[in-house]
Amino acid sequence: MEASTVGPSSDVLLAQAGVEIPGTDAAPVGEAPAKPDITKAQLVGSVPIVAKLLSAFGVYTLTGAQQEALTIAAGSGVVLYLADAVIRFGRSKAFAGK
């Protein structure tokens, strides 16, 4: 039986043929991925906080039920901010060690 050698990978052959491979623009292994300055969690979490501040400064008035709902939403917003901070801290520690 004759031993065979392995030829170029299909990615190399496609690149030689000028075919663009989707998904190859990802960050190299060991390099931290790009992080947005403001995340979606921060945007969602800031809506009830801003509404609570506007209510506190008398921009508009709320009923008791609306105030209670807004207080719960503002608490949820704070939780989103904290969760986002924990995730960012974990990612920075993971990539700092590499």
* Domain boundaries defined on the chain: 35-98
Residue the block writes with tokens 């809506």: 47
Nearest to 10 by CA among 23, 21, 26, 22: 21
The H or E element that residue 16 is part of is helix 10-16
| pTM for the model | 0.48
Cβ count near 74 (within 10 Å) = 20
Tell me if residue 44 falls in helix, strand or coil.
helix
What one-character DSSP code corresponds to residue 24? T
The tens-digit pLDDT sequence of the chain (98 residues) is: 455 555 666 667 767 777 776 665 555 556 666 666 777 777 887 888 888 888 888 888 888 898 888 888 888 888 888 888 888 888 888 877 66
